């Protein structure tokens, strides 16, 4: 087919080939469509940002992902599981990303990404092609807030910012936590993540997202619906200070 193209449309084919040569090899191999991937990224956008000014949300920003070691951004608190996988040599390529997106918990057991995975191989290839287009991280301009930027929910971002601005009372948080630790044991449990020691911004955003039913766990949605801003601030102050 290429031969035919070269003979019948020589100049055209050469232009296409030159364009292809500048694409990341990985995206080419997968044959993904970045434009379709952009639409699919809505599934990731509650937790991840990409592009200019991308910041960490519940998950790390995904700029410059291809080629980087798993769990390797200095300023994001990864789970020990994801950091360990990176330490053991897991780096993000089209292949490893495809496998991780198919089955996040199977590829890195114990990681903290609350996402079931994507069954369709074509969807995964499109997402990989989209992510490959954000080759380098672009720092956020000074003074901007994550609320309203990227694909994240602006309402959740704004609510989390407001709560993080309150000084949570850890003693009150310890009192409220009595209800939580019946489920959240220090070492976690089947289907129940450990929350002691999570960063305050992560805890606040997670609870806000349950409160707004952006995350759909029924127990947590019910629990968070009863929590006011001062309660969430206090709980975050308490749990983030634990080991």
**Residue 54 contacts residue 138 (beta carbons within 8 Å):** yes
Cβ nearer to ligand HEC, comparing 161 with 223: 223
Cβ nearer to ligand HEC, comparing 3 with 182: 182
State how far the Cα of 217 lies from the Cα of 212, in Å rounded to an integer.
11
Residue 184 Cβ vs ligand HEC, minimum distance, rounded to whole Å: 6
Residue 9 CA to chain centroid, in angstroms? 44
Residue 9 Cβ vs ligand HEC, minimum distance, rounded to whole Å: 36
Cβ nearer to ligand HEC, comparing 235 with 237: 235
Distance of CA 232 to CAs 33, 173, 174, 208, Å?
41, 8, 12, 8
Residue 112 Cβ vs ligand HEC, minimum distance, rounded to whole Å: 4
Cβ nearer to ligand HEC, comparing 148 with 189: 189
**125-153-105 Cα angle (round to 5):** 45
**Residue 57 contacts residue 199 (beta carbons within 8 Å):** no
Cβ nearer to ligand HEC, comparing 142 with 216: 216
Burial code (b: 16+ CB inside 10 Å, e: under 16) for 55-86 equals bbbbbbbbbbbbeeebbbbeebebbeebbbbb
Number of alpha carbons in the 13 Å side-chain half-sphere of residue 169 = 7
| Contacting positions for ligand HEC (CB under 6 A) | 43-44, 46-48, 58-60, 62, 65, 70-71, 73, 78-79, 81-82, 92, 97, 101, 111-115, 118, 127, 176, 179-180, 182-184, 191-193, 195, 203, 206-207, 215, 217, 219-220, 223, 235
Kindly tell me the burial class for residue 50, based on how many C-beta atoms sit within 10 Å of its own C-beta (0-12, 13-18, 19 or more). buried
Residue 3 Cβ vs ligand HEC, minimum distance, rounded to whole Å: 37
Residue 165 Cβ vs ligand HEC, minimum distance, rounded to whole Å: 19
Residue 121 Cβ vs ligand HEC, minimum distance, rounded to whole Å: 13
Residue 148 Cβ vs ligand HEC, minimum distance, rounded to whole Å: 18
**Residue 156 contacts residue 214 (beta carbons within 8 Å):** yes
Cβ nearer to ligand HEC, comparing 53 with 199: 199
Cβ nearer to ligand HEC, comparing 28 with 242: 242
Burial code (b: 16+ CB inside 10 Å, e: under 16) for 216-228 equals eeeebbebbeebe
């Amino acid at each position: 087919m290429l031969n035919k193209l070269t003979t019948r449309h020589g100049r055209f084919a050469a232009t296409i080939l030159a364009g292809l040569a500048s694409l990341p090899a990985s995206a080419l191999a997968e044959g993904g469509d970045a434009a379709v991937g952009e639409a699919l990224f809505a599934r990731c956008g509650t937790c991840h940002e990409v592009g200019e000014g991308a910041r960490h949300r519940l998950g790390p920003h995904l700029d410059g992902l291809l080629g980087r070691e798993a769990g390797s951004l200095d300023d994001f608190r990864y789970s020990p599981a994801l950091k360990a996988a990176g330490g053991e040599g897991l780096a993000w390529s089209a292949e490893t990303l495809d496998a991780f997106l198919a089955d996040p918990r199977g590829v890195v057991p114990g990681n903290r990404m609350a996402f079931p995975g994507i069954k369709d191989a074509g969807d995964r290839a499109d997402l990989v092609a989209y992510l490959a287009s954000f080759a380098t991280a672009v720092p956020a301009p000074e003074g901007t807030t994550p609320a309203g930027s990227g694909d994240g929910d602006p309402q959740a971002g704004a609510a989390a910012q407001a709560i993080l601005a309150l000084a949570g009372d850890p003693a009150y948080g310890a009192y409220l936590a009595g209800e939580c630790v019946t489920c959240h044991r220090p070492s976690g449990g089947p289907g129940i993540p450990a929350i002691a020691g999570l960063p305050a911004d992560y805890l606040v955003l997670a609870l806000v997202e349950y409160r707004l039913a952006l995350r759909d766990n029924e127990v947590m949605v019910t629990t968070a619906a009863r929590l006011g801003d001062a309660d969430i601030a206090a709980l975050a102050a308490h749990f983030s200070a634990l080991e």
